Amino acid sequence: MRGAAQGGRRRWPSVTERLLEHGRTVNDPDMEERAEFERLEKQGLIEVAWSRYFLCVDHADDRDLVHAHDRVCNHKIPLVESGHPDDPFQREDDRYYECGGCGRLHWPGRRRRTTYPRATVAVSLVRAADWLEDQLQGLDGAPYRLYQGGVWRLRYGDDEAHVCLLDGCLDTRFATREFAVAANAVFVVLDHRVFADRFTDADWLRVVNLHSIAERGVAALQDLLDELGGSAGSLAFREPTVRPWAPGRQPAPRVTHRVLGMHKLELLEDRALLDGVVVVPPEATALLRVLEFFAARYREDLLDGKRSEDHCLYSPEDVLDDLQERRVSSTEAPGTVRRQITRLRNMVAQRHLDETGIKLDQDEFIENVVGEGFRLNAGRVVVR
């Protein structure tokens, strides 16, 4: 039966829930959706980009159906804004479009076609965190921001509580079971699609979707904050250390120190250390040889007095030439070297995270400039 789901009637999402989603595209929005777009934009939660499209076959105004390959093709063809000096179609009447569904050609400028509006939603974590902080001001206790990604401490009644924007504090100590239990934490979820199937049904875990707060206001948070202070605190020393959204995953350690300033890379004969952590073990000889290449080029650029942003970039072919010259690799394919660089970046980031609980950014260790090459990130790494 349509609209039915296991366990009862299917719940249709509200307008706010459908629109408060990064990348959401709404074709020809109705009056209710337009009003919600305007409301969420005024609150600073979303940005909406408007464009227009026409239908490949629109029986209401398509007078050229004799040339239609498929008279039921409902493919939506976006219109391109003209006016750029390099645009080969300087006259709008000359511009043609090819349907991606049936391949039919269209000249909407010559044969006037009905166009329809299309809205594309953009939601950023920075905007969501700032908006949520404004909402928390409506509670009794003044919120204090502990983490820029979105963690606040506030007094609620006679207790201390924490509100965490989970999307902004992933891979930090704030997204662990111990913190959720011991600190009386409420997790706010922005991208509900990602976390809907990953959260465990635990009595200590209190989750509220951001769209619920956007619909009901701060009352949606108050309902969960009122439940704090129950029996969940007794679980602090009994529950194992796992992240609340991935119960089967190995726990990440508690962050005991955070690296301030530059990361320190040490190259030994059979291994490499970053901030005292073995990030390239003895068994990964091939990856260690690749890292030696980047470290040697780093030292050369440093001796030349180059600024970090001016350090040279190297392609997999450059790395391969060096490996063959040093006779430390038997490979002859640049593609193999590219895969080794990728494995090296992933291994360093994962081992550093496992030991310190600190997640490195994608280009924080070995920087990849698309179309130009790779290099050690001289702005974040010092080679000893």
The pLDDT score that the predictor gives to residue 3 is: 40
Checking if the pLDDT of 366 tops 80, the result is yes
Residue 28, sorted as left (phi over 0), alpha (psi -120 to 50) or beta, turns out to be left
Q: What is the pLDDT, as a whole number, of residue 344? A: 93
- The residue with greater pLDDT, 195 or 353, is 353
Is the pLDDT reported for residue 257 higher than 90? no
Structure tokens at 201: 């049904």
- Rounded to an integer, what distance in angstroms lies between the CA atom of residue 313 and that of residue 335? 17
Q: CA-CA distance, 218 to 240, in Å (whole number)? A: 32
Cα 77 to Cα 237: distance, rounded to the nearest angstrom: 58
Q: How far is CA 353 from the centre of its chain?
A: 18
Residue 2 has pLDDT above 60, yes or no: no
Q: What is the pLDDT of residue 11?
A: 54
| Range with the poorest average pLDDT among 120-134, 200-214, 225-239, 319-333 | 225-239
Q: Please provide the CATH number assigned to the domain covering 263-383.
A: 1.10.10.10
| Helix ranges (DSSP H) in the chain | 15-19, 31-42, 125-136, 177-182, 192-195, 210-216, 219-225, 285-303, 316-326, 334-356
Q: Which residue has the higher pLDDT, 313 or 353?
A: 313
Given a contact cutoff of 8 angstroms between Cβ atoms, the answer to whether 218 and 256 are in contact is: no
Interval 33-87: pLDDT, tens: 999 999 999 988 889 999 988 888 887 776 666 666 677 788 888 887 755 444 4
User: Are 80 and 92 contacting, i.e. CB atoms less than 8 angstroms apart?
Assistant: no
Contacts with 121 (C-beta within 8 Å, 6 or more apart), sequence order? 19, 20, 21, 22, 23, 24, 25, 26, 37, 46, 47, 48
The predicted pLDDT at position 280 comes to 93
Residues counted in the chain? 384
Query: Greater confidence, 296 or 61?
Result: 296
pLDDT tens profile 162-198: 888 888 887 777 877 777 777 788 888 887 665 654 5
pTM of the model: 0.52
Ordered by start, the domain boundaries in the chain are 4-122, 125-235, 263-383
Residue 54 and residue 156: Cα distance in Å, rounded? 53
The secondary structure of 196-240, three-state, reads CCCCCCCCCCCEEEHHHHHHHCCHHHHHHHCCCCCHHHHHCCCCC
Longest distance between any two alpha carbons in the chain, whole Å? 76
